[in-house]
Amino acid sequence: MADLATPALDLERLAWRTRAGELGSVTGLVRERAGRRVAEFDLTRSLAWRLAGSVRSLEVEQGSRSTIERGELIVRTPELAGTGAPEVRGAHWSFARPSVSEPAESGARCVLVLLALGELELLELELEPDPLDPARALLAHGAQRFVARAAGAPVAWALEYRSGEHVLFRTRGSVP
């Protein structure tokens, strides 16, 4: 994360160079937080970052008009408050509607990411309002069906609050 005094379009990527000379980069999300422009880069979703090895340098690629005020590396994406563990409802999972402390991002949504650890099968499900309790719960259609197909092997899950493809908050767990 980097606080910026720059228009949103001026900051686009965080690039890295490994000690072996390999290069990589990720696109960032720029948004307002506490009256400042903040650039956020989610490295946890980048396979290139995870496989990069020892990193020698990080560089924010931005427009030439402005400078970075502050940089900060966060080990883990902030937790998505108020959701807790999923409740099984037949073939689906239900989650409490999250409490997001910041104003809702335009187009923000909750996505459930399921990873069957036995077969390394990945499934992403966008959550929808639960028809039994639309004001307080969100439903992931088919989540329990996916877990059942894993035939007893563990399934890791992450409930993510995203703006576009950028993860702003994340809660994790696993079953069984």
Q: Where are the domains of the chain?
A: 2-71, 87-175
Nearest to 42 by CA among 163, 148, 141, 136: 163
On average, the pLDDT of the chain sits at 84
Distance between CA atoms of 147 and 91, rounded to whole angstroms?
Answer: 9
Instruction: Tell me the whole-structure pTM to 2 decimals.
Output: 0.76
Q: Which residues of the chain have pLDDT under 70?
A: 1-11, 62-72, 101-106
Element (H, E) at 48: helix 47-50
Local structure of residue 99 (DSSP, 8 states): -
pLDDT value for 64: 46
Q: What is the CATH number of domain 87-175?
A: 2.60.40.10
